[in-house]
Amino acid sequence: MPDFAQYGPITTLHELGTVHSDELEKKLHQSVVHSPIGLVLPITASDMREAPFARIAEKLTKATFIDTIVIVLNRADSVDDYRDTHAITEQLGDRAHLLWTDGPRGKGLYQELANAGFDVSRPGKGRAVWSAFGYLLADPKIKTFVLQDCDIVNYGNDMLMRLCLPMAHPSLDFDFCKAYYARCTDRMHGRVARLLMTPVTRAMISVLGNDKFLVFVRSFRYPLAGEFAVSATLARSNRIPCDWGLEVGTLAEVFRNTSPKRVCQVDLGRAYEHKHQPLSLDDHNQGLMGMASDILTSIFRTLMSQGMVINRGHLLSIRNSYVRLAEDAVRQYHADALMNSLKFDRHGEERTIEAFAKQITAAGEAVFDHPSGASALPTWTRVVAALPNFPTRLRQAAEEDRAEYV
């Protein structure tokens, strides 16, 4: 049975089963008249050729409440990649814009930034999202930027509507909206969220105290969700990490640049299924192990940047507390899986916890050795100060690519 409880400093918007998607869409169409929305779809060449992306593009043809759609093609080196992506997204009409970051023009623009002293050398989802935000900033009428993954197997426009409405409705004043959902099929997924993020933030609070940032992160039901909406003003001020710490790093920037009372999370109203990363127990730099490492280093560096002193004794205490809390969580998940007739590999869950525990101390040591870590991408406020017309140049590059390659 749905609940309507509010926990922590952020607002939770529930799916209570009391509204039909047609009603949501009507409210959204009324709202976007004065608050247009830009949708960002980061896509790699390999994911572009998978079935979910084509289905998402087809459904978005009916999402007429979206003003502008920026498809950011990255990790794609050939013109065929560009043309195949255009063929799939052409059905979205003039509101769709394809930004090819690995094409000659995209690479040229990144080189321009490098020549101006900006480090944008690391490819990936973070840089793709950052580039799309810059693209959207060239249009001052767009008030909200929405990020959505492109590998959602069971995507429906109602998911997007629920993410957009809290940002667009005139009676609400949120700067940031994060999605949450249950990731399950015939079993529970979301191992990094379930078995690492939730227990490790609880462990950090028990060891380091009721730090406001940790409490903020702990308030999110799914802090690693890839879908979020952000105001154009906040998008201009936030820095974006380049690694798998993107989601946690984004929360850190939101915490830094706005008030928690202007932050919400919204239930997308359905189980969520997308591509699963391998656990990668043999290589701690890949798969879920690499993701865990980036997430943990991002949290440690954020805490230290706020003046918190963390030593090796803290790491050991956090690790020991984490193991105890994570093992308790496995017992709870086992009971939940049993009640919902889900498959549950308890031994596999315990092995995952052991591997994550090792990553806690490894990530802490990495932060001690390199406190600043890899540079996050610069804020768009800083880029525009140095290169005032750069967002417009991104748009021109997309238009010129289309004219040349289509």
What pLDDT, on a 0 to 100 scale, did the predictor assign at position 288? 85
Residue that has been written with the tokens 């998911």 in this structure: 159
Q: Over the chain, what is the mean pLDDT?
A: 93
Residue that has been written with the tokens 């840089």 in this structure: 127
How far apart (Å, rounded) are the C-alpha atoms in residues 203 and 113?
Answer: 40
Evaluate whether residue 1 is within a structural domain: no
Evaluate whether residue 84 is within a structural domain: yes
Handedness of CA 214, 216, 221, 223 (dihedral sign): negative
What pLDDT, on a 0 to 100 scale, did the predictor assign at position 2? 63
Evaluate whether residue 240 is within a structural domain: yes
Tell me the residue type at 126: G
What pLDDT, on a 0 to 100 scale, did the predictor assign at position 287? 79
Give pLDDT tens digits along the chain (406 positions): 467 889 889 999 999 989 999 999 999 999 999 999 999 999 999 999 999 999 999 999 999 999 999 999 999 999 999 999 999 999 999 999 999 999 999 999 999 999 999 999 989 999 999 999 999 999 999 999 999 999 998 899 999 999 999 999 999 999 999 999 988 889 999 999 999 999 999 999 999 999 999 999 999 999 999 899 999 999 999 998 876 678 999 999 999 999 999 999 999 977 776 666 666 666 666 778 888 999 999 999 999 999 999 999 999 999 999 999 999 999 999 999 999 999 999 999 999 999 999 999 999 999 999 887 766 899 999 999 999 999 999 999 999 999 999 9
- Secondary structure, 3-state, the chain: CCCCCCCCCCEEECCCCCCCHHHHHHHHHHHCCCCCEEEEEEEEHHHHCCHHHHHHHHHHCCCCCCCEEEEEEECCCCHHHHHHHHHHHHHHHHHEEEEECCCHHHHHHHHHHHHCCCCCCCCCHHHHHHHHHHHHHCCCCCCEEEECCCCCCCCCHHHHHHHHHHHHCCCCCCCEEEEECCCECCEECCHHHHHHHHHHHHHHHHHHCCCHHHHHHHCCCCCCCCCEEEEHHHHHHCCECCCCCHHHHHHHHHHHHCCHHHEEEEECCCCCCCCCCCCCCCCCCCHHHHHHHHHHHHHHHHHHHCCCCCCHHHHHHHHHHHHHHHHHHHHHHHHHHHHCCCECCHHHHHHHHHHHHHHHHHHHHHHHHCCCCCCCECCHHHHHHHCCCHHHHHHHHHHHHHHHHC
Evaluate whether residue 3 is within a structural domain: no
Kindly state the tokens that stand for 216. Answer: 């903020």
Kindly report the pTM of this predicted structure.
0.94
Q: What is the CATH number of the domain that holds 127?
A: 3.90.550.10
User: Are the beta carbons of 379 and 238 closer than 8 angstroms?
Assistant: yes
For residue 219, what are the domain limits?
11-405
How far apart (Å, rounded) are the C-alpha atoms in residues 299 and 161?
Answer: 30
Evaluate whether residue 69 is within a structural domain: yes
Evaluate whether residue 6 is within a structural domain: no
How far apart (Å, rounded) are the C-alpha atoms in residues 282 and 286?
Answer: 9
Evaluate whether residue 4 is within a structural domain: no
Neighbour tally for 266: CB within 10 Å? 27
User: Are the beta carbons of 266 and 178 closer than 8 angstroms?
Assistant: yes
240 has which bridge partners? 377
Evaluate whether residue 2 is within a structural domain: no
- The total of structural domains in the chain comes to 1
Give the CA angle between residues 88, 93, 99 to the nearest 5°. Answer: 65
